[in-house]
Amino acid sequence: MSDLRNADDPIWIDKVWLDTIVVAGLTCFILCLMGLSQVPTAKMGILYGIAGMIALIVAYWVDDTYTYDEGTWLIAASMAPGAVAGLISAVVVEMTALPEMVGAYNGFGGLAAAVAGYGLYLDPGATFLVRDGIQVVEQTDEMLIVQAIALWLSIVIGLMTFTGSMVATLKLHGTIASKSVMIPARGLYTAVIFAVMVVFGVLAFAGDQTWNDRQAGIAYLAIVGAAAGLYGYTAVMAIGGGDMPVSISFLNSLSGFSTTATGFMLFNKALVVAGAFVGCSGIILTIIMCKAMNRNVTNVLLGGFGEGSSTEQKGAKSKDDKEGDVTMVEASEVLETLTSAKSVIIVPGYGMAVAKAQHAIAELTTRLRRLGIMVRFAIHPVAGRMPGHMNVLLAEAHVPYDITVSMDQINQDFPSTDVVLILGGNDIVNPAAQTDPDSPIAGMPVLEVWKAKTTIVMKRSLRVGYAGIENPLFLKPNNRMYLGDAKESTEKLVALVGNVNKDAVSDTDGTHLDDEETAVPTLSKQEKEMLQFAEDLPKLREAVFLRVGVIREVDPDEEKVAIVPAGCKDLMKQGIQVYVESGAGEKGQFFDSMYEANGAIVLSSAQQVLDTADILVKIGAPTFHPDLNQHEIDRMSNKTLISFLGPRTEQGKTLMTRAVEHKVNLLAVDAIPRISRAQSLDVLSSQAKVAGYRAVIQAAYQLQKFCNGEITSAGSFEPSKFLVVGAGVAGLAAISTASNLGAHVRAFDTRLETKEQVESLGGHFLVLDFDSESGGDAAGYAKVMSDAFYEKEMALFLQQAKEVDVIITTAAIPGRPAPVLIQAEHVNAMKPGGVIVDLAGGNCALTRPKETYVHNGITIIGSDMTNQAMNWQASTMYSNNIVNLLGMLCKDRQMNWNANDPVIRGMTCVWNGDILFPPPESMTATAAAPQQNSSSTKNIATPEKKKPSQPTFLEHRLWDLASVREFLLVGVLAIFFAVVAAFAPVVFSQQLGYFILAAFLGYYLIENVNSALFSPLMSTSNALSGVVILGGLLMVSVEIGSPTSWLGCISTCVAAINVFGGFAVSYRMLLMFNKEKL
């Protein structure tokens, strides 16, 4: 008997041409996955995959070493039905049913592998190396052991995948209820099932049973298969409908690993490598889906979540969270909201797929864009029932793929968006994920739609989503509910938009033709709106119930204005008339004529405005007015003032006392509580965002080097290093801007709860090891820290100052001078050419307010948050905040001061002669701030505080090299490789090497796939897993009519469904992806 442990034995080596084609085919698979990384290259990638599969199938088909006698025609006969079934299913399937088809293909891949396993067991020549139908030489015991284990894995993984995939398919189709069905004592059940599979698997090859045992041996393997199928069924039955994207991805990976097991069973590297690619694809998508749902893979597979029917939830919502009313709207109101917007984001959810509304929404998108409205789509990774499903549905409806944006990219755009339209989405837009730590979806990344000016939710009803929890978005004051079938409701909107736009059909030069073919200039949407507004203005003035005044700011350095012209128009529509002192907005390029065109009444003096208005809106705190020759508050008796007041400062306290004397109500915009309801009013945040952005621009202007890294013919240059101190709104804006410029950004804040926000914007959060105190107060602001903390902070900043190029400081404490964080020694430690931008106006010891100068080669910019250099932007954002605030204050056409409203109560300094500041702490505490009780001061809202104070045993680091877990893993791998080296045949070592390299290569290839292409990736993975067809091909030519030959034919037929159907539907999908035509 030859020793087949010798890899150079010519009996074992395939023909050179066959090996070359196998390498070429696998190279095509690699190019296929590379092509799927981007939409423009994806179609060519599919063609590479098809070429590789054809090469592999044809090579083994025509090679007489493996195909002989009647096997040639029998392979064709076996492959034909599967090919026809696959092509037909790929052509006729509706894109809304794509998840079901992918689920079925996952199962077919597993079934083909399992059938091949049974076929090999029943092969009389299984223990021999067979060439041209001749049993050339008997395999070694080591090879037979490897073959037996791989055969067992092929059957177990294959049939688990098959039955699990069939259940998933039926759940997606609705044949089986999507709710989770758990069996009692599941842990014990799982242990028994696996014990049965192992015991009977061993019995099939032990004792009197061996290969080709057609009595007890095959019976034992039948029991193994039945147990595997039963486990696959019960495992997926336990998974709720909300977790289907995860289960489909995981089953996709199992189909790949069943192919790999078949490859080890047949010692075929093409199967091993292709299976590794598919397995990695499914694993990566599973991880992505779990992250998008804040779920643990183990928890998903254990089941019980996403049932869609649960009504009792962990952690009841607080009373405040439930306060509010649902605002219902009709199609006409939705139309008015959409057509008056400048920017619209559409969020498609599973409801769009169920109603098959993608074509209607695509038509709505087209008509809105013709009106000059910017429309984009926000795609959540788990929207729908499989990864990338929404992208495919929109592509089918001819929505350009470059206006579909992933969650990570678009979340930052919601605050500047006018309208967000949500189609059938629920959990993916639920703010409870961020605001309710007891929610089942707490921590789940969601689309932050509630930050937009207006949201419109289109649903069949107010029922909960698959997570089974209420959605507080429905109760938010800026939300509207448009209930009904998604398709029918959208078609109503399409018809209404068509009526709005029917006279705007224009030719290429911007004119339209009337019935007499006379060309007349068309008006832009904005011009039409202004004409309509001018026509409606007399009626609007008759309905005015409140007068608001805006006067020039006294401070000569203040160039902003409290309300811009566009804000006057918005208020006029609400019944609020704005009176503006002449020239109040000139420094920001807001002229009197613009105010008048937008409905404001321009008066010649501040005195006239003060005498006329009921409410005065300013930016700066009231002070002595030279034109009035007295303090502004003295002329505001019996009126209300809204402005910055600094109520925590001594100056602010003096103003409150003066206001009481003159019966003036004071509302401080700088005291608005930082709670979710107040986001649209948060003046501090809007102004800080502008300041943070500009700070980076100022620093980049002064910095004498690239912000981003550059590799040029003149040399390579590293990215600049930025340190941002303070991660409030200004700090986060600075981090985002600097990261977008390509700089490496580090950030520090005493509030550990800001860490996640910093990292989400591309920054690295510097953690100071000081667990004994928290850096946030009850309102979510930074607080004064202890001396010990301050000392450690100084040491950290000194270390960072030596490394960074730019320091931006934004650390401010309300009511107190800005803390000095950058001392002279820090400045002197910086490299020459460095820049410091002090936004807080005192964080750097060497700052000169409102002055830029150079100290020892370091440029120090004494900036501030007043944003005078960007007064247009800052004024506009402040004005939007004021408009939103007045909308909250004025309901039912009258001004209402509600002492029970935490927003209004929190910003009220003086009301009806009483000083009401500061408000009760319970009225202004935020979810971001530390919550305390009488027994403990533990920070229960800080994510870091929820982690164990001490690492577990497996998390301990040894010798500062790696964790115990990693060392244990290395040890297990070392033992495994030692066993392989001592006992395994050389051919197994070779196949194992192929598998490991392919797994790592597949991981890095698939990690780069565009999220819009996840659905084509999964169907392509189905096609690649169909390479298990080679296992069937290798068995067909065995004695015709034998069980092995018949099972080889069945495996070939089933695998052909995947090969032909997978590639066909992938290419069909990619043909739908079109870029916007310019």
Order of strands, sheet of 852-855, starting from the edge strand that comes earlier in the sequence: 764-765, 744-748, 721-725, 806-809, 835-838, 858-861, 852-855
Angle at the Cα of 46 (from 41 to 51), degrees rounded to 5?
125
Token pair 């049993």 in the structure block, residue: 135
Token pair 């003060």 in the structure block, residue: 610
Q: What is the DSSP track for 797-857?
A: HHHHHTT-SEEEE----TTSPPP--B-HHHHHHSPTT-EEEESSSSSBTT--TT-EEEETT
Contact (CB, 8 A) for 574 and 545: no
Question: Rounded to whole angstroms, how far apart are CA atoms 1002 and 274?
Answer: 9
Nearest Cα neighbor of 170 from 234, 104, 121 is 104
Per the structure block, which two tokens stand in for 154?
């092929």
> Please, is 716 exposed, middle or buried when counting C-beta atoms within 10 Å of its C-beta (0-12, 13-18, 19+)?
exposed
Residue 322: helix, strand or coil by DSSP?
Answer: helix
The rounded Cα 573 to chain-centroid distance in angstroms is 36
Question: Rounded to whole angstroms, how far apart are CA atoms 467 and 293?
Answer: 10
| Phi, psi dihedrals of residue 729, rounded to the nearest 5° | -65, -45
Contact (CB, 8 A) for 1011 and 379: yes
Question: Rounded to whole angstroms, how far apart are CA atoms 205 and 265?
Answer: 14
Q: Which of 427, 436, 670, 805 is catalytic?
A: 427
Question: Rounded to whole angstroms, how far apart are CA atoms 497 and 341?
Answer: 13
Let me know if 427 is a catalytic residue.
yes
Buried b (16+ CB within 10 A) or exposed e, 594-607: bbebbbbbbbeebe
Q: What is the dihedral of CA 487, 488, 490, 493, to 10 degrees?
A: 170
Question: Rounded to whole angstroms, how far apart are CA atoms 290 and 444?
Answer: 9
Report CA-CA distances (Å) from 711 to 61, 706, 717, 740: 50, 11, 6, 18
Question: Rounded to whole angstroms, how far apart are CA atoms 579 and 27?
Answer: 72
Question: Rounded to whole angstroms, how far apart are CA atoms 389 and 95?
Answer: 8
Report CA-CA distances (Å) from 985 to 144, 265, 988: 10, 13, 5
Contact (CB, 8 A) for 241 and 179: yes
Give the residues across from 577 on adjacent strands: 547
Cis preceding-peptide flag for 918 (omega within 30 of 0): yes
| Phi, psi dihedrals of residue 986, rounded to the nearest 5° | -60, -35
Catalytic annotation, residues: 427
